[in-house]
A and B are shown apart, each in its own frame.
Chain A
Amino acid sequence: MKWLPTAIAIAVGLVTLLDFFFTLPLLDAVGAAFKQWTIILTAFALLLGLVNLLQVHLTRIIRRNEASAGYSAIVASTAVIVFAIGLWFGLPSNPLTWIFDNLYTPLQGAFFALVAFFLATAAYRALRARSIETTWMLLAALVVLVGQTPILGVLADAREWVLNVPSTAGVRGILLGVALGTIATALRLLIGWDRPYSE
């Protein structure tokens, strides 16, 4: 029966693909059902994820010898409390909205503020002129940066050129390559040559 998961995956993949390209009543109905099943499966996967999270952190708490046991206790208890509130009050509900608005969102803002500092250190590391490539990168970055300032408007045209010609060409090249890679990976999955889900 090892062929069964592969057969199911190929069949579901083909039906979903055909549903994307063609409008037929039967295909539409089956495709819509598959999409609903995906949502249900994702919900079950989320429950598995919660079990996994508790398993990881409770193990750390039980062992006690790990330095992160305290943090694990906070993570595990927070997960259980939020899960319980969600189960009790449902979604969306005032308590959950309060948690997100007053705890999650401020924490998120605080952490994303770090991006500015990380950008500075990462840019310093990336733009050191160590080789010909990094020298070109440094020059392009300088042109774009200086070209944006109103005082040195002379570089505005050069900035436009850097953004519209070499940068856009590079991005399009990458996107074409990514599209080909995605198609190849999708075909391998559809044909059953790549089977991350079975033996």
Chain B
Amino acid sequence: MLGVLLFFLPIFFFAYWAVKRGLRLALRPIAAYTALKGLFARSAEAGQPVHLSLGTTGVGDQFTADSTAALNVLEYLSERGAISAAPPIVTLAHPTALPVAQDVMRRVYRQLGYPEEFDPTRARLLAPDPLNFSTNRSDVFAYAVGVMRLLTQQKLAANVMIGRFGDEFLLMGEPGAQHHLMQIGGTSAPEVLPFVYATMTHPLIGEEIYAGGAYLSGKLAHLGSLFAQDIMRWLLVAGIVSAALLRTVGLI
């Protein structure tokens, strides 16, 4: 693991340096991010907010990367929402994600010049996972029920669910699908991806959730890291194919 990290590091810096020096990356279109960009015209026109679920994990555990991916989307949605006066409703199930989510939203309003418009109750801890604090099991049924109710009772322009989810994804995604709500979502858990594909109008599959910063905000660091991931992926593919060939001819 340390070896992979040390191998990745120079590629990571090289990719960032290349992007900073002006390397233009051709990002393949991802329907979910294209739809997210067009969301706020729809939201402002209808006067309805967008719901964003940050997943069931917080910051500080092994799924922090997933929560960070969701926070990147939150930053974009907050920015657009603040401009169009239709801030998103953010729900979460882990208490550590609450202050971070509120801080992301507060920062956006401050940067745009109207901090007084920030409403901390737009980020809501619906229900924490009661088992998470004593065991390794996850049980976010109360959170899922809260989201189900929000999706069926509140008039929303769209439902966005990005982060780490378990089986409860189906409980939250299906009511939205049945109400013909525009739904954009994704997770990194492979066992949940069938639910994502079945319920979301614009699904994000696996690692695509980490590309939000590059696609939505175009930040150099995010573009650089996306480029580094691609380099690493090609190296991995080359390694796997070479190993398979060497194994076939009996050299290893």
The answer to whether A binds B is: yes
Give A contacts to B, CB under 8 Å. 21, 38, 41-42, 45-46, 48-49, 52-53, 55-56, 59, 67-68, 71, 100, 104, 107-108, 111-112, 114-115, 118-119, 121-123, 125-126, 171, 174-178, 180-189, 193-194, 196-197, 199
Q: Are B65 and A181 interface neighbours, CB within 8 A?
A: yes
A182 to B64, CA, bound (A): 9
Q: Smallest Cβ distance from B154 to chain A, in angstroms? A: 9
A52 to B101, CA, bound (A): 12
**Does B199 make an interface contact (CB < 8 A)?**
yes
Give B contacts to A, CB under 8 Å. 1-2, 4-5, 8-9, 12, 16, 58-60, 64-65, 68-69, 71-72, 75, 95-96, 98-100, 103-104, 107, 120-121, 123-126, 128, 130, 133, 139, 141-142, 144-145, 149, 153, 167, 170-171, 173-174, 177-178, 188, 190, 193-195, 197-199, 205-207, 209-211, 213, 221-222, 225-226, 228-229, 232-233, 236
Which A residues are in CB contact (< 8 Å) with B178? 121
Q: Smallest Cβ distance from B199 to chain A, in angstroms? A: 6
A72 to B141, CA, bound (A): 18
A199 to B108, CA, bound (A): 10
Selected from B95, B210, B233, the residue in CB contact (under 8 A) with A176 is B233
Q: A56-B121, A175-B190 are in contact. Are A122 and B199 (CB under 8 A)?
A: yes
Q: Are B153 and A68 interface neighbours, CB within 8 A?
A: yes
Which A residues are in CB contact (< 8 Å) with B222? 188, 194
Which A residues are in CB contact (< 8 Å) with B144? 111
Q: Which residue of A lies closest to B12 (CB)?
A: A187
A122 to B123, CA, bound (A): 29
A-B contact pairs, 22 of them (CB 8 A): A42-B95, A45-B95, A46-B128, A48-B99, A52-B120, A68-B153, A111-B144, A115-B171, A121-B174, A121-B177, A122-B177, A122-B195, A174-B205, A174-B206, A178-B188, A180-B233, A181-B69, A184-B210, A184-B228, A188-B222, A196-B59, A196-B71
Closest 6 CB pairs of A and B: A181-B210, A177-B207, A193-B221, A126-B198, A49-B125, A45-B95
Q: Are A194 and B68 interface neighbours, CB within 8 A?
A: yes
Q: Are A197 and B100 interface neighbours, CB within 8 A?
A: yes
Q: Are B198 and A122 interface neighbours, CB within 8 A?
A: yes
Which B residues are in CB contact (< 8 Å) with A193? 16, 221, 225
A75 to B171, CA, bound (A): 20
Q: Smallest Cβ distance from A129 to chain B, in angstroms? A: 14
Q: Are B99 and A122 interface neighbours, CB within 8 A?
A: no
Task: Give the most central of A67, A123, A181: most B CB within 10 Å.
Answer: A181
Task: Give the most central of B65, B104, B194: most A CB within 10 Å.
Answer: B65
A112 to B144, CA, bound (A): 10
Selected from A38, A55, A108, A182, the residue in CB contact (under 8 A) with B139 is A108
Which B residues are in CB contact (< 8 Å) with A175? 190, 206
Q: Are B225 and A184 interface neighbours, CB within 8 A?
A: yes
Q: Are B167 and A115 interface neighbours, CB within 8 A?
A: yes
A129 to B133, CA, bound (A): 44
Q: Are B190 and A180 interface neighbours, CB within 8 A?
A: no
Q: Are B9 and A177 interface neighbours, CB within 8 A?
A: no
Q: Smallest Cβ distance from A187 to chain B, in angstroms? A: 6
A20 to B72, CA, bound (A): 27
Which A residues are in CB contact (< 8 Å) with B103? 196-197
